[in-house]
Amino acid sequence: MSGLSKTERAGCTNILKLMSKGHLLSLTDTVTNKMIAVENVAEASETILCFTKSAEELLKRKKVHRDLIFKYLVGEGVVMPPNSEKHQLVKRTLELWSSGKAVADKSPPGQRDDTRPRTATETLSTEGKAEVGFDPQVLGQQFCQWFFQLLNSHNPSLGQPPQGWGPQHFWPDVKLRLLAKAGSEQMEDFLGAELVSLRLLALIKEERLLLSPNLQPHGLRTLASPHGPVLVAVAGTIHRDEACLGIFEQIFGLIRSPLENNSWKIKFMNLKIRGQDALGGTDTVAPALSYNSTDLQLLCS
């Protein structure tokens, strides 16, 4: 009988969904000693879960490749170095499930109770309020987890239901500056919520990029000024399928919207992308931020 908790069962189901049909059927044979014949993918998944004694046992199986677990963690907004070994990814996944912070419901939109896209800060509103004890670094970390999980959900290779991305998360006059260095250098500027939203979506959906932020202290910096925007700067790695293509640094300017429950919306963004060839052999495992507080203060003024 399966010894999985509700969270583990949901997480294992989401990982099995990332497997090809062939691998899934083959895993069913392994788990059941070929004693049970299954008709389809849903039956295979259910049978595997029924015959699994523990989440760790399933994650450690050879056919559950490290890349599947890595993709699952990225989808959950969990940052791991791209060269992590399988046992490290297994350990982090089990920690996530025992903490109860995994997103259990990955059902397609329309099957959920609340299909309305959430704004950045309905997600953050509980801890992100500017009262006594307001911690900008906590806000920055929660914001980045929310933002990149939402955006990455539109990458077809993750096989996840896309979440509510759109212009509602930006101020109408938002500005995006996109600087890309890969061989040559290109700079593009975009103005307006609709354009900015579509340009970022194209990176993920059309170009199939995955942005994995480094939320460790050396990869994330937040700066709050009394009357200006809260600035969040984050560094991370860029992937396409199994390949790490380079690193990115992104700065967000966040301002509260009094008309929308005082929730934070994005006022401006600077996104700097550097391909592997422009890095000159720099280690890309968990990139550090090159901006310091002075650079951010200049953007604030």
Q: Are residues 71 and 187 in the same domain?
A: no
Q: Which residues pair with 230 in a beta bridge?
A: 224, 254
Domain extent, residue 48, equals 6-99
Helix, strand, coil percentages in the chain from 3-state DSSP, rounded to 5: 40, 25, 40
Q: Are residues 80 and 144 in the same domain?
A: no
Whole-angstrom distance, CA of residue 168 vs CA of residue 124: 15
Q: Residue 1: inside a domain, yes or no?
A: no
Q: Which of 147, 130, 119, 135 is nearest to 234 (CA)?
A: 147
Please state the pTM of the whole predicted model: 0.58
Whole-angstrom distance, CA of residue 9 vs CA of residue 13: 6
Which two tokens mark 278? 């422009």
Q: Residue 278: inside a domain, yes or no?
A: yes
Whole-angstrom distance, CA of residue 63 vs CA of residue 57: 12
Per-residue pLDDT of the chain (301 residues; tens, 9 = 90+): 457 888 899 999 999 988 888 899 999 999 888 888 888 888 899 889 988 889 999 999 999 998 889 888 887 878 777 778 899 999 999 999 988 766 554 443 333 333 334 444 444 443 333 444 467 778 888 899 889 989 999 998 888 788 889 999 999 999 999 998 877 888 999 999 999 999 999 999 989 999 989 888 888 988 887 667 889 999 999 988 878 888 999 999 998 877 766 778 899 999 999 887 655 544 456 677 776 666 666 665 5
Distances (CA, A) of 294 to 69, 220, 236, 287, 299: 38, 15, 21, 20, 9
Q: What is the CATH number of the domain that holds 184?
A: 3.10.450.50
